[in-house]
Amino acid sequence: MHRIHWRRWLGGIGIAVLGASASDALAQSTLRIVPQADLKVLDTVWTTNNITSNHGYMVYDVLFAPNSKLDYVPQMVESYERSADGLTWKFKLRDGLSFHDGSPVTADDVVATIKRWALRIPTGKTLMSFGKEVVSTGAQTFEIRLTQPFGPVQAMLGNPENPLFITRAKEAALPPDQAITDPTGSGPFIMVTNEWVQGAKVVYKKNPAYKPRTEAPDAFSGGKVAKVDRVEWIVIPDANIATQALIRAEVDAIEIPPADLLPLMKRDPNIEVRVIDRIDTQAILRINHLAPPMNNPKIRQALLYLVGDQRDYLGSMVGNPEYEKPCWSIFICGTPFESTAGVGPWATGTKEQNLARAKELLKEGGYKGERIVLLDPADAHLAHTQAIVTAQKLKEAGINVDLQAVDWGTQTARRALKDDPEKNPRGWHVFHTWGGGLALGSPLTSPVVPTPCDGLNFFGWPCDETAEKIRLEFPMAATLDAQQKIIHRLQARLLEVVPYIPAGQFYAPVAYRKSLSGVIDATRLVLWNIEKKG
């Protein structure tokens, strides 16, 4: 793995031959896409970054996966059963599963992976808060034993936002705060590590030993058939250059095309611009609850008024009403758990009214001009544009903003730091990200909602035992009505303590050349089932 500067690399060789790293590769069918960001971390437990999860879907496989009806169905699992008392879940793996090194996938690998995942990922932590033990009972069989019944086990094991990717037991033996660096999985593609150039290119090849399920592909479920020999992620941070590369057929797809260039792409008869995720994506302003002055709830509540009706954020990220949806429901508008509980006047107030109230709250919280470090990942459009809007709003409220330009990988590393920025220059107060509505639409699968006081939850580490107690009532609710009542209580509490702030919902279309077929409707762009003509 080498690191080079992308501009020098593009300028030196010409974008038209980005994928021609070896002469034999030209004879293969090669799919070239511009990913949403540069890949810097391979471990989907160590980081929750979408780009790392995208990598995970290439090289790993999962136990369960959601189909287009949002039913969680077996993937690596052949069969399973639940005991009459609901306390024991038994699973059997499919025959023929093997890792890229040729070793079989065993129940021991699965058990070790679940245990590591449950130490860090909120979904796993929630599941195992009801768990007694996870044990292998044979080469292909394992059990999850609970202390009390917990219904949505399949959904927890198959959550597509922070997926449970099965690794070898030796990788799973690493502590969760130590990143896995060996990408050996059992998925439909194999990472070509000697061609990985950080900041420029990531390469995968078809896994000839992979045995897909026999069902047709359906969202994340069914047969994951690799229909191209080779996939190259071409990292092009400059949106204009990426768009021209797509128009000239030098790349085949852009995962998250910039909104302002969508009209140009739509005018090209050879390019398809399509929304494949119809559940919506939520923009997120995440706050460091450990670093003063953000550890004061009054200061965090002031930010609610600065975000206001969310339209400034949506306009900067998307800029097209067709794809935008202002929404203050923590658990996603348009889902069974949409709620207005706890939503205050900030959602409907004028900018002048909201700014005045924000200043009052800052004064009540004792804000004295302290520096607020706001991370700005300039190479990630959806986060970068949010950061620019937030910086302006903070300045208007009289806040001393330190807007720090970083790349996405640097933000990924820095957001794990709990240090006060006044004591560690790499510390932070606010960063922006986004998340898929499928996972964020439930208090059990959302990574940004848990507020336990153990310091092991999602970056920002909000601590509120009241909200956490309400959240853990959710899986015990027997009816939708009972669940919705819990949602209303939980959302009202969350908007009081403000673990994070939703900055609006939006659809994020993908753009690809019409020479591609088989692009699957799912909450993220997956690269199996895609064929390329010519």
The average pLDDT across 109-137 equals 93
Token output for 50: 């979408």
Residue 25, pLDDT > 80, answer no
User: pLDDT per residue over 100-122, tens digit each?
Assistant: 999 999 999 999 999 999 998 88
Contacts of residue 75, Cβ cutoff 8 Å, sequence gap at least 6? 61, 62, 63, 64, 65, 158, 213, 220, 221
User: pLDDT per residue over 237-265, tens digit each?
Assistant: 899 999 999 999 999 999 999 888 999 99
Cα(73)–Cα(155) distance, integer angstroms: 9
The average pLDDT across 480-498 equals 97
DSSP notation for 127-173: HHTTEEEEEE-SSSEEEEEESS--S-HHHHHH-SSS--B---HHHHT
Identify which of 188, 159, 164 has the alpha carbon closest to the alpha carbon of residue 72.
159
The answer to whether residue 272 sits within a structural domain is no
Name which residue leads in pLDDT, 435 or 374: 374
Residue 225, pLDDT > 80, answer yes
Cα(274)–Cα(276) distance, integer angstroms: 6
The answer to whether residue 262 sits within a structural domain is no
Strand order in the sheet with 281-287: 324-325, 500-506, 281-287, 430-436, 371-377, 400-406
Contacts of residue 226, Cβ cutoff 8 Å, sequence gap at least 6? 188, 189, 206, 207, 210, 527, 528
The average pLDDT across 438-467 equals 93
The answer to whether residue 264 sits within a structural domain is no
Which domain CATH number covers 210? 3.40.190.10
The answer to whether residue 177 sits within a structural domain is no
The answer to whether residue 89 sits within a structural domain is yes
Cα(167)–Cα(101) distance, integer angstroms: 12
Cα(171)–Cα(116) distance, integer angstroms: 10
Residue 20, pLDDT > 70, answer no
pLDDT of residue 14: 42
User: pLDDT per residue over 176-186, tens digit each?
Assistant: 989 999 999 99
Cα(465)–Cα(38) distance, integer angstroms: 36
pLDDT of residue 381: 87
Total tally of structural domains belonging to the chain: 3
Cα(41)–Cα(48) distance, integer angstroms: 10
DSSP notation for 12-24: HH-GGGTT-SSGG
Burial 504-529 (b: 16+ CB within 10 A, else e): bbbbbbbbbbeebeebbebbbbbbbb
The helix-helix angle for 297-307 and 351-364 (nearest 10°) equals 170
Q: Are residues 495 and 393 in the same domain?
A: yes
The answer to whether residue 401 sits within a structural domain is yes
Q: Are residues 502 and 428 in the same domain?
A: yes
Token output for 404: 């720090």
Q: Are residues 27 and 93 in the same domain?
A: no
pLDDT of residue 24: 42
Cα(497)–Cα(297) distance, integer angstroms: 6
What Å distances lie between residue 148 and 83, 254, 426, CA to CA?
A: 12, 45, 43
Q: Are residues 392 and 248 in the same domain?
A: no
Q: Are residues 227 and 99 in the same domain?
A: no
Q: Are residues 498 and 515 in the same domain?
A: no
Q: Are residues 102 and 154 in the same domain?
A: yes
Domain that holds residue 144: 64-172
Contacts of residue 8, Cβ cutoff 8 Å, sequence gap at least 6? none
Residue 2, pLDDT > 60, answer no
Which domain CATH number covers 379? 3.10.105.10
Give the CA count within 13 Å in the CB-facing half-sphere of 482.
7
The answer to whether residue 274 sits within a structural domain is no
Q: What phi, psi does 8 have (nearest 5°)?
A: -65, -40
Q: Mean pLDDT, the chain, as a whole number?
A: 92
pTM across the whole model: 0.83
The average pLDDT across 410-418 equals 92
The answer to whether residue 341 sits within a structural domain is yes
For residues 492 and 484, is the Cβ–Cβ distance under 8 A? no
Question: How much of the chain, in percent, has pLDDT values that exceed 70?
Answer: 95
Kindly give the pairing relationship between strand 253-254 and strand 510-513. Answer: antiparallel
Residue 62, pLDDT > 80, answer yes
pLDDT of residue 9: 37
User: pLDDT per residue over 387-407, tens digit each?
Assistant: 999 999 999 999 999 999 999
Burial 255-286 (b: 16+ CB within 10 A, else e): bbbbbebbebbeeeeebbeeebbebbbbbbbb
Domain boundary among 137, 172, 207: 172
pLDDT of residue 17: 39
Q: Are residues 40 and 73 in the same domain?
A: no
Rounded to 10 degrees, what is the CA torsion of 157, 458, 219, 246? -150
229 pLDDT band (50/70/90 cuts)?
very high
Q: Are residues 344 and 454 in the same domain?
A: yes
User: pLDDT per residue over 280-334, tens digit each?
Assistant: 899 999 999 999 999 999 999 999 999 999 999 999 998 888 889 999 999 999 9
Q: Are residues 120 and 7 in the same domain?
A: no
Question: How much of the chain, in percent, has pLDDT values that exceed 90?
Answer: 80
Cα(267)–Cα(272) distance, integer angstroms: 10
Token output for 223: 């047969």
Q: Are residues 295 and 424 in the same domain?
A: yes
Q: Are residues 328 and 287 in the same domain?
A: yes
What Å distances lie between residue 305 and 203, 205, 343, 398, 501, CA to CA?
A: 44, 49, 11, 14, 10
Which domain CATH number covers 163? 3.90.76.10
For residues 168 and 37, is the Cβ–Cβ distance under 8 A? no
Q: How many CB atoms lie within 10 A of CB 365?
A: 18
What Å distances lie between residue 115 and 162, 171, 404, CA to CA?
A: 15, 12, 36
27 pLDDT band (50/70/90 cuts)?
low
The average pLDDT across 208-213 equals 96
Contacts of residue 362, Cβ cutoff 8 Å, sequence gap at least 6? 298, 299, 302, 397, 398, 399
